[in-house]
Structure formats: structure tokens, C-alpha cells
Structure 1
Amino acid sequence: MLAPPPEGTFDMEEVNLPIKNAPKDSLPEQVPLLNLEAAPIESNESKKGKVTQILIFLYENLKLKQILQPAIIASILAMVIGAVPVLKHLIFTTDAPLFFFTDSCIILGEAMIPCILLALGGNLIDGPGSSKLGFRTTAAIIFGRLVLVPPMGLGIVTLADKLGFLPPGDMMFKFVLLLQHTMPTSVLSGAVANLRGCGREAAAVLFWVHIFAVFSMAAWIVLYLNLLF
């Protein structure tokens, strides 16, 4: 037979051994309903979600997708880069390390106007009268651009001159500002309209605007020369 150990007998005292099921009398562990540490994180996430929803709402209702065309985005980027001296000396100057990018853009820009004119000519394959705008709409656009806009430009330049925003005595600078309001619509607007699927209508309007601008520009230039010189 086996002898008992020297420390004592085989009889072991009851110890608190781990049991699977908790006794009925013991209370369950109380867990707080709100986790105080996670509250700031959830609030920050909710704020970010609200800001995202507001931005999406503005983007959809203001139709920024139609406004932010490639030409406008490129112009905004050029102004931002030109306004920051570090980026300007990094990209635009002749000795800049990234001047090759500017040089490539200049080469592409030289071919841009002929390509746009080809695209506009392709939209006029059926003639300038093939657009769906109608005679009244086209005439109103031409009248507003060539007859109404130049007097507004004349008023703006005159007001700026009286307020002292223009260099005094520089008549050529004023003449260029006035001439800018007299010029017909740029062909870039036709390229932007072509991206929106309205290339034929824009091409027809640009065609007639440039035709009638020959006469309107001559009249406005004579008026500007008499006022300034």
C-alpha cells in the first residue's frame, strides 16, 4: 500500500478552486453602459461625417463638376504655384529643376489653339445654322457680348481710375483694359462646352460672335481712342 506523504495525510482541505458556473448568490460584474474613453472618438467621427456630408451636398447642388473643367483647374493651379515663391522658383524659372515640365506645357500650349480651331470647325460641319439655339437666342448672346459688355467694362475701368487703382497717366494700360472687354468670346469656351456635350451650339455662337466682332471692335476702338488720346 502507498504510504501517506510526510507532510500529512491524503485528506486535502477544501480550497477555492475555479469553477465554471458562478454561484447563484454572486452578483454579475457591472459594466458601465457608456464608455467614457470612446466618446470623444465617436464625436470626432460624427463631426467628420457631417463635414463630409456638407461637402458632398455643396458639390452636388452647386454643380462644381460642371464648373471645375480642366482649363479652369489648370488656371487655378498656375495661380497658386505662381503666388508661392518656392514653387515658382522650383517650376517656372529657367534654371528650375522642374522647368522641363513648364517647357513641355509651353510646347503643348503652342499647338492648343490650332487643335481647338479644328475641333470647332468639326462641330460646324453642317454649317453654323445647324445648332438648336435658334435665331433669337443667338442674336441675344451676340448683342450682350458685343454691345452690352463693353460699356460695362468702360464703367469699371473709369471707376477704378477715379479710385486710384490704375497707374496715373498710363493711357495704353487703360486702352488694353478697355480692349479686353471688347474682344469676342475666347475659343477656350468652345473647348469647355465641347466637354459638356454642347460643342455644336458653342461653335455656332463663336462663329457668329467673331463675324460681328469685326465691326463692333472697330467702332469701340475708335471710341476708346477718342476718349483716351
Structure 2
Amino acid sequence: MGFLQLLSVASFPVIKVLLVTAVGLFLALDDISILGEDTKKRVNQLVFYVFNPSLVATNLAKTITLKSVVQLWFMPFNVLITFILGSALGWILIKITRPPQHLEGLILGCCSAGNLGNLPIIIIPAMCRESGSPFGDSDVCYQYGMAYASLSMAIGTVYMWSYVYNIIRISASRIQKEDASSNDIVILKASGEASESHPQHFFQTLNPTKDTMDDAYTLLLPEEESEEKVSISSKIKNCVGLISSNLNFKAVFAPSTTGAIIGFVIGIISPVRNLIIGSGAPLHVVEESTSMLGEAAIPILTLVMGANLLKGLKESSTPLWTLVGIVTVRYIFLPLLGVAAVKAAIHLSLVPSDPLYQFVLLLQHALPPAMNIGTMVELFGAGESECSVIMLWTYAFASIAVTLWSTFFMWLVS
């Protein structure tokens, strides 16, 4: 298949996403206000608690079997590789550009966590239905593509809320501690005595048990000079215990993750599968009803994604070189490293020969930052306006980058 034909197949799904995203952005304008802040929050809740889990559960239940689970084992490791490589590149970017300290956690999050759920679920089915797709029969491609994308969403959710959440929390916590210390020094100089009052911040209620300077995640953040230095080996020794104590398990087991677990259980256990899945199943009405809810997720997700980008049009406070660095990491270095990682896995026979599965693995390395990062920075009050600008421009460049990388990935696996 020629390059131009592959480019056409790759570009139309992205153009569809852009058009619907533009509609969402238009509906969020102040003069229109159909997707205003209150409406957007309610719609987000519907997507988060109802549509996404329904979509994930039904697609996994229809396609996942015990045999396919054995074949798909590499995907969690592939997503982990994207987070590790992205974190390393983000750390290098921080060292080179030296951004304001309150942006360090945001930069690491944007470099490490891609949109592993929403965009694959939108793009892959549309790509399967394009004429000339290299993935064979459109119905079979759609069925398995949705399963792969759903699994990607579930895995991405776990990594997002167990890793990026803590990176941003630690970064915000360090800034707040420094502010509190500087305030105490000012009070001490003014009054001649120490103040015992320390402001309470809402993020402390989320993790009140550990000193952030001993947290394993601070290994990724630049450290200040101190008289007493703790060796890296000592920090790594306690890494597992510290991380587990700081995990937000409620967020890790989000509804999408719960939906994935339900989908796996139904798909793997044959008696349960025969009871629910298929037109002849006694409880097939449950599957069809859940599937109907899940189908609403894709258009609503795209509209909300467009509405979320509006804030970036009103802000301009992000350092230019920081923004350029994040775009370069996500759309140049990370995809190139991802190709090397996936090709190595294929060479070592760790990945089956399914072209669609290989394409999804490659695509996971070439996506814009996850939208949930915006939720996290708002939660901790660390770089909300900068995050909006980063999201706007990274998603604007995604229209070109994702199209070109998708074309290259299809050529690579076909």
C-alpha cells in the first residue's frame, strides 16, 4: 500500500476528531455556554462513571479470552515503557530549560503520560472503517481494535493515578512547604520569635503520613542543597513501601479500571461468557444495554475534549521553551524510542504478529498528554493556567503529528 493511501487512511480519523473537537470548543464559548463549567463537570461525571466503564467492559468481554490474555500480556509493559522513557526525557527537559519550580511536576506528567484512553478509542475504530485500511475486514478490525483501545484505557488509568498523581502531588507539596518556610522566616524577623502557626493546605489531607523529601518520587525532581544528604540507594531501598503507602487506591481503581476487570472476568470465564455474550445468550439484553451506553462515550468524549481546550486560548503564561520541549518530547523523541522498543519486542517474539495489535502498541508512544493531568494540577493548585496552554498546543500539533506517525506505523506493520 502506497504512502499517500496510508496517509489518507490515517488523516481522515484525525480530521473527524478535530471537527467534533471544534464543535465542543464552540459549545464551550462564553457566548454559547452550552458546555459551560457546570455542564462540563456533569457531563464529565457521566463519562467517567457510566459511559467509559460500559465501553471498556463490553468491548473486553466480547473479545478477550484466556488465549488472548496470554497474547496481550506485553501491553502493560509497553505502557510502562512509555512512562519511564517520558519521565527520563522530561527530567532532561527540566535540566535544560530550568522552568519555574512549580511547573516541574506538570512537565514530568505531560512528558510521561499520554492520552492512552480517549484518543485510541476515537481514532482506532474510525481507522478500521476507512476504505483501504491495512488491517483487513472492517468489522473484525473494529471489534479487536476497540478491545485493544479499551485495555489501553484501563492500563493507562492505573499508571496515571498511581504514578503521575504522586509526581504532581510531590511537586506541589515542595512548593507549598517552601512558601510556608519563607513566611515563617519573615514572621521571625519581624517579631523576633518563632511562629507556631503553619497554614494547612488541602493536599496534605490526601497524604498526611509521609515526608515528601523521603518519598521515592522525589528522585525525579531536582533537589535543593541540604546539610544532610540521603543516599539514592537508601531511597530506592524503601521505594516500594513508600509508593504503596502514597497510592490513591480509590483513583487507581477508577470506574474504567473496574469495567476492565468485569470485562476480563466475563470474557475469560466461559460459563459467564456464554450466559451474557452473544445473540443466543440468556442475558444478552444486559450486554446490549451496556453496549448502547458505551457507544455514547466516543462522541461525548470528543466534545468534552474540545471544551477543555478553551481555557488554553485565554492563557499565555507558559514559558516558550518549556512548551517547545514538551511538544518535541511527545512527538519526536518518544515515538522514535517507542518504535525501537516495540520492534525489539517483536524481534524477541514477545508480541504476536497481529498488525493491528502492533499498531496500537506503537501508537501509545505518539499521543498528546493525558487530559487527566489537568484534573490533577487543579486538585493541587500547581500550574493550572500553564497546563491549559500546554494542552491546547500539544493537541493542536497532534493533528499533524498523530497523522504522520499513524501513517508511518501502518507502513511499518503492514
Into which bin does the TM-score normalised by the smaller protein fall?
A: 0.5 to 0.7
For 2:307, the equivalent position in structure 1 comes to 122
**Are the counterparts in 1 of residues 327 and 394 from structure 2 also a CA contact under 8 Å?**
yes
**Are the counterparts in 1 of residues 274 and 281 from structure 2 also a CA contact under 8 Å?**
yes
Any stretches of 5+ residues in structure 1 without a counterpart? 1-56
Q: 1:176 to 1:119 in 2, by over 3 A?
A: closer
Q: 1:177 to 1:109 in 2, by over 3 A?
A: same
In our comparison, the structure showing a higher alpha carbon Rg is 1
One-letter amino acid of the structure 1 residue matched with residue 334 of structure 2: V
Q: CA deviation at 1:147?
A: 2.0
Say what the alpha-carbon RMSD is for the aligned residues.
Answer: 3.9
- Mapped to 2, the partners of 1:177 and 1:111 lie a distance apart of 25
When normalised by structure 1's length, the TM-score is 0.54
Which deviations, in whole Å up to 9, do the C-alpha atoms of 1:47-104 show, x marking residues without a partner?
xxxxxxxxxx987522222322222222232223222222222222232222222212
SS at match of 2:256: helix
For 2:338, the equivalent position in structure 1 comes to 153
One-letter amino acid of the structure 2 residue matched with residue 62 of structure 1: L
- Percent of residue pairs bearing the same amino acid type: 30
Aligned residue among 236, 249, 268 for 1:83: 268
Aligned residue among 139, 142, 149 for 2:327: 142
Aligned residue among 166, 181, 200 for 2:365: 181
Aligned pairs for 1:1-229 within 5 A: 61-130=246-315, 135=320, 138-167=323-352, 174-175=358-359, 177-184=361-368, 189-190=370-371, 194=375, 197=378, 205-221=390-406, 223-224=408-409
Q: 1:129 to 1:228 in 2, by over 3 A?
A: same
**Are the counterparts in 2 of residues 69 and 192 from structure 1 also a CA contact under 8 Å?**
no
**Are the counterparts in 2 of residues 71 and 192 from structure 1 also a CA contact under 8 Å?**
no
- Mapped to 1, the partners of 2:355 and 2:255 lie a distance apart of 35
For 2:157, the equivalent position in structure 1 comes to none
Q: CA deviation at 1:227?
A: 5.4
One-letter amino acid of the structure 1 residue matched with residue 371 of structure 2: G
Any stretches of 5+ residues in structure 2 without a counterpart? 1-241
Higher relative contact order by CA 8 Å / sep ≥ 6: 1 or 2? 2
Q: CA deviation at 1:118?
A: 3.0
**Are the counterparts in 2 of residues 92 and 102 from structure 1 also a CA contact under 8 Å?**
yes
- Mapped to 2, the partners of 1:101 and 1:86 lie a distance apart of 15
Q: CA deviation at 1:216?
A: 2.3
Q: 1:139 to 1:113 in 2, by over 3 A?
A: farther
- Mapped to 2, the partners of 1:113 and 1:149 lie a distance apart of 26
- Mapped to 2, the partners of 1:121 and 1:164 lie a distance apart of 40
When normalised by structure 2's length, the TM-score is 0.33
One-letter amino acid of the structure 2 residue matched with residue 83 of structure 1: I
One-letter amino acid of the structure 2 residue matched with residue 99 of structure 1: H
